[in-house]
């Protein structure tokens, strides 16, 4: 078997780290936005769970204002990415429709 020198081992580790970092950067705009939206759910969900604010009628946890809080692990990430428009769609529709952003937020929160 061929032995790797210490220098070539170090170079292969650096190449691996670079490939991992590059793989993480290749998210689309929609995936980044969806990931941020899902991450925003963790704190309210954990706080509601810790405070035991379970609503039997709606079968979900509630935040202090009474709004339902979703378990981030149960969010369908692919469906969320599909709802988020591309940058071109977003800015063209925002000019055309004045309430486009509000309607988009309602659609994402569903």
Residue 18 lies in a domain: no
Residue 51 lies in a domain: yes
Helices (H) and strands (E) in the chain, counts: 6, 3
Instruction: Give me the number of domains the chain comprises.
Output: 1
Prediction pTM value: 0.60
What's the CA gap between 30 and 8, in Å, rounded? 38
What's the CA gap between 55 and 51, in Å, rounded? 12
Residues 31-76 have pLDDT tens digits of 998 999 999 999 999 999 999 999 899 888 998 898 899 899 998 9
Residue 10 lies in a domain: no
Residue 95 lies in a domain: yes
Residues 17-28 have pLDDT tens digits of 666 555 555 778
Domain around 41: 29-109
Identify the burial level of 48 via C-beta atoms within 10 angstroms of its C-beta, where 0-12 means exposed, 13-18 middle and 19 or more buried: buried
Measured at the CA of 12, the angle between CA 7 and CA 18, to 5 degrees, comes to 125
Residue 99 lies in a domain: yes
């Amino acid at each position: 078997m061929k032995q790797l020198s210490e220098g070539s081992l170090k170079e292969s580790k650096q190449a691996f780290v670079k490939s991992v970092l590059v793989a993480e950067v290749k998210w689309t705009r929609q995936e980044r936005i969806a990931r941020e939206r899902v991450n925003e759910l963790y704190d309210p969900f954990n706080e509601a769970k810790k405070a035991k604010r379970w609503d039997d009628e709606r079968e979900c946890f509630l935040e202090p204002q009474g709004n339902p809080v979703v378990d981030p692990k149960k969010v369908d990430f692919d469906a969320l990415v599909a709802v988020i428009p591309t940058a071109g769609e977003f800015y063209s529709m925002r000019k055309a429709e004045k309430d486009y952003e509000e309607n988009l937020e309602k659609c994402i929160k569903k």
